[in-house]
Chains A and B, each alone.
Chain A
């Protein structure tokens, strides 16, 4: 009974903060709503006996990824600068598509049947502790994907550095040079204005 009440609380908070996150005007408020959502997600992972993933959810998602979002939001004033054209012509069409997708997905849940069960029952995981069970699965069966994940992180590191670097006075291709000259011209203008 307690677990079900806890699930209902978490589900309501997740849906509410998710809806607020995509509808608030200020992007900083959106990021904070997603933070609330991630904390309740970690609570749901706890009800599923996934303590390690709950900790990773808070440390990596809430602690690293969302802080990165906040940093970018505070570093550059994106509030009125970075707007793309939307993928669908009107907002209501997008909402109708999403609502139809939700109805279709929820309607197909009752016909879902579970496959065959594995070896890691709740008792086995409790005996071995969750982190150890996950580590055994990762390093025994998914060693190559684990290495590839490390490589993806390396690519992200280098890519982030290259993308966010100020490329003034360096040859990084025609577009980069163009941008660098425009940037230096902008700086010169700015200094003239300041004078």
Chain B
């Protein structure tokens, strides 16, 4: 069988990859993707622990985390679209001023 520590190490590494992406990238979409990576690291930890503890409590938590991740993606991408729209209008306004 696979020892629990392997799963926990992989989950920690995945979480830190997400942290690294969130801190270093500047693109909003990739930052959201990094948050998904972090949530997946936590999910893997919860599922592994619930398997090794003979309980389905961690899997129920994973279920809720997937729900929250879906909601976060919807809201975050809505904000991204709104931000894009406002920035684009700002761009066109400056061009208008330059033309006089």
Binding site for B on A (CB under 8 A): 3-4, 7, 11, 14-15, 18-19, 21-22, 27, 30-31, 34, 37-38, 41, 44-45, 47-50, 52-53, 56-57, 60-61, 64-65, 68-69, 72-73, 75-76, 78, 81-88, 91, 93-95, 97-99, 101-102, 105-106, 109-110, 112, 114-122, 125, 133-134, 137-138, 141-142, 145-146, 149, 152-153, 155-157, 159-164, 179, 182-183, 185-186, 189-190
Given the known A-B contacts A114-B53, A183-B89, are A101 and B78 also in contact in the complex, defined by CB atoms under 8 Å? no
The size of the chain B interface, using a CB distance under 8 A, is 81
Main secondary structure of the interface of B (DSSP, over half): helix
Q: Which residues in A have their C-beta under 8 angstroms from that of B44? A: 41, 44
Main secondary structure of the interface of A (DSSP, over half): helix
Binding site for A on B (CB under 8 A): 1-2, 4-10, 12-34, 36-37, 40, 43-44, 47-57, 59-60, 62-64, 66-75, 77-90, 92-93, 95-96
Please list 28 pairs of residues, one from A and one from B, whose beta carbons are closer than 8 Å in the complex, sorted by A's number: A3-B2, A11-B10, A15-B14, A18-B37, A22-B18, A22-B33, A30-B30, A31-B33, A38-B40, A41-B40, A56-B66, A60-B70, A76-B81, A76-B84, A82-B29, A94-B23, A95-B23, A98-B16, A101-B15, A105-B16, A109-B8, A117-B53, A137-B56, A137-B59, A163-B78, A164-B78, A182-B92, A189-B96
Question: Taking the nearest CB of chain A, how far is it from the CB of B77, in angstroms?
Answer: 5
- Asked whether B88 lies within 8 Å of A94 as measured between CB atoms, the reply is no
